Chain A
Amino acid sequence: MNRAFAIWSRFIKTALIRDAEFRGDFVAGFAAGFGWLVFMFSIAEVVFGHTNSLAGWSKQDIQALIFAWTISQEMFIAFFYYGITQLSTLVHKGDFDVYLVRPFSALWQIAVSRFRLPACINIGINCVLFSLFLLTTGYDITLSQLLAFTALLPAAVIARFAIMLAMQSLSFWFINVDNVKVVYDSLMEIARFPTLVFRSFELLLFTAIPLAYLGNTQTQILMGAPLWHTSVITYAGACGALLVALLIYRVGIRNYSSASS
């Protein structure tokens, strides 16, 4: 365990040095995070210009969902996104061998290899904006709801990691599937809206494609859903998805034969 964190902290130090060197990249990451927030709020404004509720959710509920989605997205980007998305390219080019022969989990090394400081700053900014949103809009929530909401955000990160890992693991069977990132991005479009909007395949979003845990269930807590019940479902769903993704990855590794020359 200590070794895992030692590796992680080393990668974080390297990433900080990189951020100091490539300032343009740093600003880009920061701007992208903020841009997403503005973009999603704009869409909410347009949608609620024509209705008072979307699948039973008020404008404030949707805005809370946007914050839940964005904060968990930035958490995922900060610690895992850029690392885990390398997997398909590493497998395709044969560079995965380098990680496999090292005396530590290849998955861990790859997943934590790209820490992103701008995303951490975005998490802070989003938390401040979310607090302002709660204070200024009079969104009626209790302290226990807020605590449960916060405690469920890591579950969203777990679910995101699981989805990305399962998709990236396809590279063990198929050549050159680096565009899975685009599929992931398009799936994220679904997660930014209430699952009830996609009524005909809502069950899928809680099971096979666990997008309901990326912000929906967290926001439902704020809307008055039962705390313990929703929390257990969210963590069970996210952890279940992670186990399935790890299983796919493990089976994939057994299929892996080096592609390097």
Chain B
Amino acid sequence: MMRFSIMKMTVKSKIVYRMRLVMWALTTIVWVAVYPLVWLAVYDGQEILRGFSTTDILTYFIVIMLMDFVVTSYADDNLSVDVRDGDVSNWLLKPISTPQFYFYYNFSVSLPMTVIAFIVALAIAVFSPVPLSYPQQWLTLPVIVLFMAVGVGISFNIKFMLGCLAFWFEEIRMVQYLYWFATSLLAGWVAPLVFFPDWFARLSEVLPFQYTLYVPVMIALEKYTPALLLNWGTIAACWLVVSWIARRVMWKRAIRRYNAVGR
């Protein structure tokens, strides 16, 4: 009930500013437009590029945009600001664990944006001159949901750990930038990882980033085999467990360092 209340209050506080939502819609449209148009220019008459048709590439970027809103956490932003301003004290006193609070808060922040992104995606699906591809097998949907849930967990754990760095360092922007650059490339934001050189694709397989976005999108496009799915599932589950343990250890150490004054 408490978790539901946090989510309800967060959503309410976010939808009260309508123009902010319009801004998010604009951002979404630009995001969805840029890279598909760049890649369509690269195709320049070719039917297929590394197994991706023009239909696949447009669908890829729409799905990755939708998934990004659901999966990608911004816990690092919230936590680092709260640590710096001393507001984290408020959450430490609440009858819910602080990481849990940040999880539900972040998840609900993305809900209104996901709805906007979904409307934008729907409009593109209807009006786009290039047709989109849709899943053909019934199994795809539950597998997407499962991998997205794992992605949500990995993304939150890593971002929360980034936020925890604020307990040690006054400024964590540099780490955030590095993380953003890494995820944009390694999670498949700018292009499907099969478009990258082979060594890069192999490197991304052992890192956690592709399991937050790229893998769920590839599943949505039904570009998987049972063996590949098993391989992805095993590595993703390992990263979920490792990041969960690391996040708990880091939070315990961080909270030991924290002291608040006043209020």
A137 is an interface residue with CB less than 8 A from chain B: no
B41, B177, B196 interface centre (most CB from chain A within 10 Å): B41
Contacting residue for A193 out of B20, B23, B38, B196, CB 8 A = B38
Among B168-176, B211-219, B226-234, the stretch in contact with A: B168-176
A176 is an interface residue with CB less than 8 A from chain B: yes
Q: Give CA–CA (A174, B18) in the complex, Å.
A: 9
Contacts of B195 in A (CB 8 A): 46, 49-50
Contacts of B191 in A (CB 8 A): 43, 46-47
Given A177-B19, A179-B23: A24 and B171 interface contact (C-beta under 8 Å)? yes
Given A189-B30, A189-B34: A176 and B170 interface contact (C-beta under 8 Å)? no
B27 is an interface residue with CB less than 8 A from chain A: yes
Question: Which residues of A3-53 are within 8 A (CB) of B?
Answer: 22, 24-25, 27-28, 31-32, 35, 38-39, 42-43, 46-47, 49-51
Question: Which residues of B149-182 are within 8 A (CB) of A?
Answer: 169-171, 173-174, 177-178, 181
Instruction: Judge whether A35 and B20 touch: CB under 8 Å.
Output: no
A148 is an interface residue with CB less than 8 A from chain B: no
Contacts of B171 in A (CB 8 A): 22, 24-25, 28
Q: Give CA–CA (A89, B234) in the complex, Å.
A: 46
Q: Give CA–CA (A25, B44) in the complex, Å.
A: 43
Tally chain B residues at the interface, Cβ within 8 Å. Answer: 36
B95 is an interface residue with CB less than 8 A from chain A: no
Given A24-B170, A31-B178, A198-B37: A175 and B42 interface contact (C-beta under 8 Å)? no
Contacting residue for B17 out of A25, A176, A190, CB 8 A = A176
Instruction: Judge whether B177 and A176 touch: CB under 8 Å.
Output: no
Q: Give CA–CA (A190, B31) in the complex, Å.
A: 9
B78 is an interface residue with CB less than 8 A from chain A: no
Contacts of B97 in A (CB 8 A): none
Among A76-84, A126-134, A180-188, the stretch in contact with B: A180-188
B246 is an interface residue with CB less than 8 A from chain A: no
A100 is an interface residue with CB less than 8 A from chain B: no
A75 is an interface residue with CB less than 8 A from chain B: no
Write 23 A-B pairs (CB below 8 A) sorted by A numbering.
A22-B171, A25-B173, A28-B171, A28-B173, A31-B177, A31-B178, A35-B178, A39-B181, A39-B184, A46-B190, A46-B191, A49-B196, A54-B41, A54-B42, A177-B19, A179-B27, A182-B24, A183-B23, A183-B26, A186-B26, A189-B30, A190-B30, A196-B41
Q: Known contacts A22-B170, A49-B196, A190-B34; can you find 16 more A-B pairs with CB under 8 A?
A: A24-B169, A25-B171, A28-B173, A28-B177, A31-B174, A32-B173, A35-B177, A35-B181, A51-B42, A54-B38, A175-B17, A175-B19, A177-B23, A182-B24, A183-B27, A197-B37
Chain A residues in the interface with B (C-beta under 8 A): 22, 24-25, 27-28, 31-32, 35, 38-39, 42-43, 46-47, 49-51, 54-55, 170, 174-180, 182-183, 186-187, 189-190, 193, 196-198
Chain B residues in the interface with A (C-beta under 8 A): 17-20, 23-24, 26-27, 30-31, 33-35, 37-39, 41-42, 44, 49-50, 169-171, 173-174, 177-178, 181, 184-185, 190-191, 195-197
